[in-house]
Amino acid sequence: SGSTPSGTPSGQASPARSVEIIEKRGRYGDLEDVCSRKNPRLDGHPAEDFVLPPAFGHSPLFDGCTKVVVSDAEKTILGDMGP
């Protein structure tokens, strides 16, 4: 009495590759707190200066020809912040 190959209802081996399904679980304990991380400073610039990263600073977006629209609410906020 021999054993029949498993894989299909007919007992024949399946020609398709089998795939093992592995359950994925979140790593809740391994997550790092990115909110409290300090932003790196650029040497030669005070901490209160906002300096665009090179990826944005050399972009045509900031070539002086691009129109930037600021809402009235944002204008009020910026005005309250001072020069």
Residue 1: per-residue pLDDT:
46
Residue 18: per-residue pLDDT:
74
Residue 9: per-residue pLDDT:
63
DSSP state letters, 21-42: -------GGG----TTPPPPPP
> Tens of pLDDT along the chain (83 residues)?
455 555 556 667 667 777 777 777 666 655 555 555 555 666 666 666 666 666 665 566 666 776 777 889 988 998 888 77
Give the pTM.
0.25
- Residue ranges covered by each domain of the chain: 46-83
User: Which residue, 70, 52, 71, 72, is CA-closest to 62?
Assistant: 52
